[in-house]
Amino acid sequence: MRLGLKTIIFVGGGLLLLAPAVVAGTIFADAMRQRAEVANGARLRVLGEIAAEQLGRNMHQLWQAVEGMGRIVSMDDPEAARRQLDQLAQIDRRYTWIGIADVEGKVVAASQGMLEGVSVAERPWFRRGLNGPAAMDVHAAVLLEKLLPAIGEPRRFVDFAAPLKNAQGAVTGVIGAHFDWRLVQDGLQATKGPGVEMLLVSRDRTVLSGPEGLRGSTLSVGSAIAAGQAASVSLHERWPDGKDYITVVIPSVTYADMPSFGWSIIVRADTDAVLDPTRTITRTFWSILGAGMLVALGLLYLLATWVATPLRRLAGTAEHLASGRSDTPPYDETRYEEASRLSAALVRIQSQSVRPYQPAGVATRKEP
């Protein structure tokens, strides 16, 4: 079965319209998605860098305060030292405890007198503080847990320590400060944007701060592995909750000369939520393109009908002439030149094929 001109024009023209439009639309939609992922990755990186700098700056201020107190406090006058430490703890509520210990590890003076006379020789902050400025990663309260008011959850601290020296430069003790981890956590989470989650992870990939379901867990996703290796990366990965996230790793939280805690920040955003505006734009684009294509196909159908109708009528006339019937004159086609010329030609053919009627069996009379 042969296709008609109308079908050929409509189907062929439709393919010529649809194929480039679909290909171009697919390329455009994919490019938009990629650009959205890159733009959101850059946005997450900026948020992460701001959070890392702010956290580092805040911790550096505390570090400077502890180091400065180490230059002021004297081991020779415990009473004066206690007053100074109390004053500092009252001015800055971030200090949960601050005290000084002699080289044997005995606490000589402390804010509110807590732990005075207690040995801290086995505490990491004291041992490291004897050798130089030190920063201790977040840890559970050990000696202070029973001395402080209950808060409904185990207390955790971040520690700074520095050696105390006399006029000759000899180490005479260590000053140490405990800061409530909740304050650090709240400050970090305050920097996140809508739809964005901040995770603070340690060197061993343990989540120190972040969504409640992840705190305290050890991550095995690619971004956490990169954070453990202090690598700055941007990834599109699936997390244990089954969701896909755009993640960015800020490999370190440091500021100026502050000792490193070994922290990294992972910033993540749910891919579905992040790309939803782009998907809305893409759906709108396809809707507009689809509506445009329907209009174009409708116009193409009308064009195919307009072109094919004269030829269909002329073909019918030609078939009548071919079968010996000349009683119906050809339709006077004037839509376009080719149809008009073909119509005129059929009129001439029909006029030439018409002869006077002569009954059968009657001979034609010859002229003398």
Number of domains in the chain: 3
Return the pLDDT at 123.
92
Return the pLDDT at 366.
46
Q: Lay out the sheet containing 234-238: strands in order across.
A: 207-209, 196-201, 264-270, 244-250, 234-238
Q: What is the pLDDT of the chain when averaged over all its residues?
A: 85
**Residue 193 pLDDT grade (very low, low, confident, very high; cuts 50, 70, 90):** low
- Which of 163, 185, 207 is where one domain is finished? 185
Return the pLDDT at 365.
47
Q: Do 251 and 348 have their domain in common?
A: no
Across 51-55, 61-65, 291-295, 320-324, least confident range: 320-324
**Most confident stretch, 104-113, 138-147, 180-189, 248-257:** 104-113
Return the pLDDT at 185.
77
CA distance 187 to 51: 9
Return the pLDDT at 1.
66
Is residue 14 in a domain?
Answer: no
Q: CB 342: neighbour CB atoms within 10 A?
A: 18
Q: Do 49 and 91 have their domain in common?
A: no
Across 125-129, 197-201, 226-230, least confident range: 226-230
Is residue 172 in a domain?
Answer: yes
Is residue 365 in a domain?
Answer: no
pLDDT 10s digits, 243-261: 999 999 999 888 887 777 8
**Residue 303 pLDDT grade (very low, low, confident, very high; cuts 50, 70, 90):** very high
Structural domain span for residue 341:
280-353
CA distance 127 to 143: 16
pTM of the model: 0.70
Q: Do 42 and 107 have their domain in common?
A: no
Q: Do 210 and 153 have their domain in common?
A: no
- Which of 230, 255, 272 is where one domain is finished? 272
- Which of 158, 185, 212 is where one domain is finished? 185
Q: Do 159 and 300 have their domain in common?
A: no
Q: Are 70 and 171 in contact (CB under 8 A)?
A: no
Q: Is it the case that residue 314 has pLDDT exceeding 90? A: no
Q: Do 252 and 319 have their domain in common?
A: no
For residues 152-166, give the mean pLDDT: 86
Q: Which CATH number characterizes residue 111's domain?
A: 3.30.450.20
